[in-house]
Amino acid sequence: MADIVIDRVSKHFGDFHALQEVSLNVGDGEFVALLGPSGCGKTTLLRIIAGLETQSSGRIVIGGRDVSALSPRERGLAMVFQNYAVFPHMTVFENVAFGLRMKKVPDAEVKRQVERAAALLHIEPYLDRYPAKLSGGQRQRVAVARALAVQPAVLLMDEPLSNLDALLRLEMRTELKAVLREAGTTTIYVTHDQTEAMGLADRIAVMYGGKIDQIDTPLSVYAAPTTRFVGGFIGNPPMNFIKVKAESGTVRIGPVSFVAPAGGLDLDLGLRGEDAHLSGDGSGLPFDVRVVEPMGSHLLLTGSIEGQAARIVAPPTATVRAGERVGLTVDPSRLTWIDTSTGRALARPQDSTR
Amino acid sequence: MTSVTATPIVKPSGISVPGARRLLLWTGIIAVLAWVLLPIYFVALGAFGGRLGVFRWPKSIWPSDLSAASMLQFLNIEGVFGALMNSFIAAGFTVLFSVLLGAPAGYALARYSFKGQTAFRLLVLLTRAFPLAILALPLTVSFIRLGLYDTAFGVSLIHTVLALPFAVLVTQSLFMGIPREYEEAAWVFGCTRFQAFLRVVMPLALPGLAATAIFAFVISWNEVFAASILTVRERTLTAYLLKVLSESPLHYRFAGGFILIIPSVLFIFAVRRYLFAVWGIASK
Amino acid sequence: MPTRANWIPYALIAPSVVFLGALFIVPLVQTIWLSFSSDDGTLLGNYARMAGDLNFSVAIRNTFMLTLVVVPLQVALAIGMALMISKVGKGRDLILWVFTIPLGISDLAAGLAWLAILQNSGYLNSALYGLGLIQGQTGWLSQETPVTLFIGIVLAEVWRATAIVLVIVIAGLQLIPKEFSEAAEIFGAKPWTRFCKITLPLLKPSLQSALILRTVLAFEVFAVVYALGGTNFPVLAGEAYNWQNINQNYGVAAAYAVLIMAISIAATVFYLRVLRVRPEQLP
């Protein structure tokens, strides 16, 4: 068990800045997801923590020990790779035992640990098989078992579920959460899938353009994004942004006016599709519906507010037709205000009635 | 042939070839099979037919009076056995050098990007545009000075020049085919680079390395020009045969030709699975 | 890859670089130098002697004629064989193996194999005699029958070295997604059109490397010729061999070597130009 301190880590590839002074503290036993689109630097950061890449500057401290200059094997961690990297020329048993063998653990102890890890991941029946005979999901379990067998202080996972089909991914996600909670290992988990990050992590670090935009609990990241990017990246449908101007402390959209936050004149009003409700009598924000998609659990309405594109989630029983104009009521305390010039969120105004 | 055509011939794509064209196809294939195999068959008949067989007239294409006697006689001729051994020694060293030098270079090309990489690739590819065996000509003098002239070892050096570019390119693609993550996983789970290579990369690369070795063997085994230039007494089999070609009786020539052909045929059989992968890459 | 391991790739390629430097670059320079340092002290003395030799123009003509006849034949034959194999389902592996056997056979052995067929009491004469086409043993490989000797050498060369082209072509064919041909078929292209419009253009990179490889080797041709015709059919590499080993004149041998290299490089450049493959046209 150990905590991880990532201290102003940068990485350049020539002129390209993959990571720009990224700092992040992961507590002992905590599960942190690095979430972001491809190319945001999340995998590079994970590989730097593992020692598979060297940072251009900055430090990695694991359990109080500066490991910045150490090779991967000296860092005392385990990793699960995107393509599993289960050795094809070894049986499942030898794969799971690999880390223990390298530590010259006595045979009896190896057997005990392998069986414990195998039981945790339900792969006991396959221990004497070769990976080629296993399905993708089973190989994934072997990869996780191999990582857990060494009882690592830190577990790194690089998009471990992305090669599985949707159904299996859901099942493995649930199981991973249970297994990792039991193991209590400090975990850093890289993913581009927000549902994975939301479902698994204690905290999510949303990365964009080589920086961490926001690090917070899943609920906070969802409800109170600190940048326009985070709002747009997290949530399905993504947060709507409506360009508005603040005039003498007020923002007007159609017949509705809001108290403007302090600090900016050109603003993006961030509105989650789930936070808008059909007013029924046409009052509130005017929303021109262009397309109605019944999703079963809800209706997805695509249209525009004041000529700006927006997606709204309505109850499945609502009767809305394409081409209609409906009114939306919103709770001002659930709005996000972004300063257009910086892309960063402004503090919500305290008193926010119409 | 009827029994073969009776079974439905199905392309990998699942389209079957209609009857008349199927007949044409198999006629063509049988013709090419005969074209390839008949000369080997005839040289074998010549090798085992002895002095009488060679001059029998007119010849029957069916074997008669075959015996190993003339082949044994040939092997007992002064110098033949030594030449055979020299061929094996030269080929053995060629295999050793081309794998030991080529595989690390192939690994470097596959796993690292470094300054000078393009230059090195160019050097390797450049060898292709040159008639390499011709380069044995000026080496005569330096080889005499170094005591390498007229040794199988010296021959193997120039044969390695022939086989090395091949080994580099083939092993490069071989190592590229082994996911980097295998090695990284090994590092993370406690291996040094060298341990990771031995425990994870080597076992996976072994069949491909064996194929590379076999190709190097065949390249050396078959080479005539450089071997003839660089040896006088310690000739390889090809150099020996070339030297005595004009003065030796026909059945000995055929025996020599047959011995030259046999290992090649076996080796090509052994590496047939790699042939296309290997040449597809090495011909880029 | 950690940057602290920067020296590793250099350490890995160093042995190959040193080796190729010592046994490829150095002899290359030596050959050129040797060819320009003649006994009579003139710069082009060796070349003058080479060009003045009785066999020189014959060797040039023979080598070029062999190359011009053999290489196109091999490419055409290899494409034909590859297309046949692509139509075969069962037995494909075995056929492929037999087709590629000559790949492992040396030019010397190939010459000897065809000698068994073409010699006076060989199988060709036996067959022709059996068919009543000739009265008795007929010589095909002597100085008096240069045309049949040439044809015999062509046969042996085509027999031996088509396999290399075949393997390159098959490897190239495997890289062409079959969807292209299927798309053409859906739009109504006949097999021959599909071959000309789809397969052949996409095969160009493979053909290019096959042509370069084969042409360079064809200019080196030597042992096949020697096995079949002895000294009756002079070729460039054979002349180099004679000057080196029999006349012991390393300078003229080097001049021949430089000539062969110059022709090889010219051929390579020619192919690279003529069959230029634009990267944006590849799948």
Cβ-Cβ contacts under 8 Å between A and B: the total is 58
Q: Collapsing DSSP states into helix, strand and coil, what is residue C42? A: coil
Q: Does A46 touch chain B (CB under 8 A)?
A: no
* pLDDT tier for residue C1 given thresholds of 50, 70 and 90: very low
CB contact under 8 A, A53 and C4: no
Structure tokens given for C17: 């670089």
Q: Which CATH architecture has domain A4-223?
A: 3-Layer(aba) Sandwich (3.40)
CA angle B278, B282, B283 (to 5 degrees): 120
Residue (of B170, B171, B160, B162) closest to B92 by Cα position: B160
* pLDDT tier for residue C96 given thresholds of 50, 70 and 90: confident
**Which residues from chain B sit within 8 angstroms of residue A88, using beta carbons?**
204
CA-to-CA separations, A273 to A199, A258, A332, in angstroms, rounded: 20, 18, 14
d(CA A44, CA A37): 13
**pLDDT of C282 above 80:** no
CA-to-CA separations, A39 to A18, A19, B31, in angstroms, rounded: 8, 10, 57
- The full set of domain ranges for chain B reads 2-67, 74-282
**pLDDT of B242 above 80:** yes
Give A78→chain B minimum CA distance, Å.
Answer: 6
Q: Which of B188, B190, B203 is closest, CB to CB, to A50?
A: B188
Residue of A12, A49, A54 for testing the chain C interface, max C β-carbons within 10 Å: A54
Q: Which of C86, C209, C261 is closest, CB to CB, to B283?
A: C209
Which range, B126-130, C156-160, C176-180, has the best average confidence (pLDDT)? C156-160
Q: Options 3.40.50.970, 2.40.50.140, 1.10.10.10, 3.10.290.10; which CATH number does A236-346 get?
A: 2.40.50.140
- Are C100 and C166 within 8 A, CB to CB? yes
Which pLDDT score, from 0 to 100, does residue B281 have?
52
Which pLDDT score, from 0 to 100, does residue B280 have?
54
Give A199→chain B minimum CA distance, Å.
Answer: 26
d(CA A313, CA A305): 14
User: Quick one: DSSP state of residue A227?
Assistant: B
**Which residues from chain B sit within 8 angstroms of residue C86, using beta carbons?**
11
Q: Does B105 touch chain C (CB under 8 A)?
A: yes
Which pLDDT score, from 0 to 100, does residue B4 have?
33
- Cα torsion A183, A185, A191, A194 to 10°: value is 70
d(CA C13, CA B101): 8
CB contact under 8 A, B195 and A150: no
Q: What amino acid is encoded at A251 in this protein?
A: V
Which pLDDT score, from 0 to 100, does residue A105 have?
93
**pLDDT tens readout for residues A31-73:** 999 999 998 999 999 999 999 999 999 999 999 999 999 999 9
Q: Does C6 touch chain A (CB under 8 A)?
A: no
- Are B178 and B197 within 8 A, CB to CB? no
Q: Does C73 touch chain B (CB under 8 A)?
A: no
CB contact under 8 A, C90 and B9: yes
Among chain B, residues having any CB pair with chain A shorter than 8 Å are 179, 181-182, 184-192, 195, 200, 203-204
- The full set of domain ranges for chain A reads 4-223, 236-346
Which pLDDT score, from 0 to 100, does residue A13 have?
87
Which pLDDT score, from 0 to 100, does residue B284 have?
46
**pLDDT of B198 above 80:** yes
* pLDDT tier for residue B279 given thresholds of 50, 70 and 90: low
- Cα torsion B114, B118, B121, B125 to 10°: value is 180
CB contact under 8 A, A85 and B184: yes
CA-to-CA separations, A83 to A43, A216, B175, in angstroms, rounded: 13, 28, 17
Helix A166-183 vs helix A107-121: crossing angle, to nearest 10? 130
User: Minimal Cα distance from B190: which residue of A?
Assistant: A73
CB contact under 8 A, C100 and B268: yes
Mean pLDDT of chain C: 86
CB contact under 8 A, A53 and C2: yes
**Which residues from chain C sit within 8 angstroms of residue A51, using beta carbons?**
2
**Residues C123-135, mean pLDDT to the nearest whole number:** 83
**Which residues from chain A sit within 8 angstroms of residue B182, using beta carbons?**
85, 87
User: Minimal Cα distance from B203: which residue of A?
Assistant: A89
CA-to-CA separations, A3 to A24, A27, A43, A64, in angstroms, rounded: 11, 5, 19, 8
**pLDDT of A352 above 60:** no
The sign one gets for the Cα dihedral B226, B228, B230, B234 is positive
Q: Which of C5, C34, C159 is closest, CB to CB, to B35?
A: C159
User: Minimal Cα distance from A100: which residue of B?
Assistant: B189
Q: Could you count the other beta carbons within 10 Å of the beta carbon of residue B76?
A: 9
C1-30 burial: b if 16+ Cβ within 10 Å, else e: bbeeeeebbeebbebbbebbeebbeebbeb
Range with lowest mean pLDDT among B56-60, B265-269, C190-194: B56-60
Instruction: Tell the CATH topology of C18-281.
Output: MetI-like fold (1.10.3720)
**Which residues from chain C sit within 8 angstroms of residue B12, using beta carbons?**
89
Percent of chain A topping pLDDT 70 = 98
Q: Which residues of chain C from 173 to 192 reach within 8 Å of chain B, CB to CB?
A: 174-175, 178
Which range, A310-324, B129-143, B255-269, C268-282, has the best average confidence (pLDDT)? A310-324
**Residues A163-172, mean pLDDT to the nearest whole number:** 86
Q: Does A224 touch chain C (CB under 8 A)?
A: no
d(CA B250, CA B244): 11
ipTM of the complex: 0.83
Q: Does A52 touch chain C (CB under 8 A)?
A: yes
The H or E element that residue A203 is part of is: strand A203-208
* pLDDT tier for residue C5 given thresholds of 50, 70 and 90: low
Name the pairing type of β-strands A250-253 and A57-62: unpaired
What share of residues in chain C are helix, strand, coil (percent, to 5)?
A: 75, 0, 25
**Which residues from chain C sit within 8 angstroms of residue A71, using beta carbons?**
2
**pLDDT of B283 above 90:** no
**pLDDT of A233 above 90:** yes
* pLDDT tier for residue C171 given thresholds of 50, 70 and 90: confident
Give A264→chain B minimum CA distance, Å.
Answer: 48
**Residues B34-50, mean pLDDT to the nearest whole number:** 88
Q: Could you count the other beta carbons within 10 Å of the beta carbon of residue B108?
A: 25
CB contact under 8 A, A71 and C2: yes
Q: Which residues of chain C from 205 to 234 reach within 8 Å of chain B, CB to CB?
A: 205-206, 209-210, 212-213, 216-217, 219-220, 222-223, 226-227, 230
Structure tokens given for A26: 């992961």
CB contact under 8 A, C88 and B29: yes
Three-class HEC string of C178-231: HHHHHHHHHCCCCHHHHHHHHHHHHCHHHHHHHHHHHHHHHHCCCHHHHHHHCC
Q: Which of C85, C96, C265 is closest, CB to CB, to B272?
A: C96
Peptide bond connecting A238 to the previous residue in cis, omega within 30 degrees of 0: no
DSSP β-bridge partners for residue A259: A250
DSSP per position, A116-162: HHHHHHT-GGGTTS-GGGS-HHHHHHHHHHHHHHT--SEEEEESTTT
**pLDDT of A180 above 80:** yes
Q: Which CATH architecture has domain B74-282?
A: Orthogonal Bundle (1.10)
Mean pLDDT of chain A: 91
d(CA B238, CA B225): 9
Q: Does A73 touch chain B (CB under 8 A)?
A: yes
d(CA C254, CA C249): 9
**Which residues from chain B sit within 8 angstroms of residue A87, using beta carbons?**
182, 185-186, 200
Which pLDDT score, from 0 to 100, does residue B128 have?
72
CB contact under 8 A, A102 and B182: no
**Which residues from chain C sit within 8 angstroms of residue A53, using beta carbons?**
1-2
**Which residues from chain B sit within 8 angstroms of residue A81, using beta carbons?**
181, 184-185
**pLDDT of C2 above 70:** no
CA-to-CA separations, A305 to A288, A293, C33, in angstroms, rounded: 6, 18, 82
Q: Which of B189, B195, B204 is closest, CB to CB, to A88?
A: B204
Which pLDDT score, from 0 to 100, does residue A217 have?
96
**pLDDT tens readout for residues B119-174:** 998 888 888 777 777 788 888 888 999 999 999 999 999 999 999 998 998 888 88
Residue (of C70, C65, C275, C78) closest to C164 by Cα position: C78
Which pLDDT score, from 0 to 100, does residue B10 have?
36
* pLDDT tier for residue C275 given thresholds of 50, 70 and 90: confident
**Which residues from chain A sit within 8 angstroms of residue B186, using beta carbons?**
87, 98
DSSP β-bridge partners for residue A243: A268
Q: Does A14 touch chain C (CB under 8 A)?
A: no
**pLDDT tens readout for residues B80-103:** 899 999 999 999 999 999 999 999
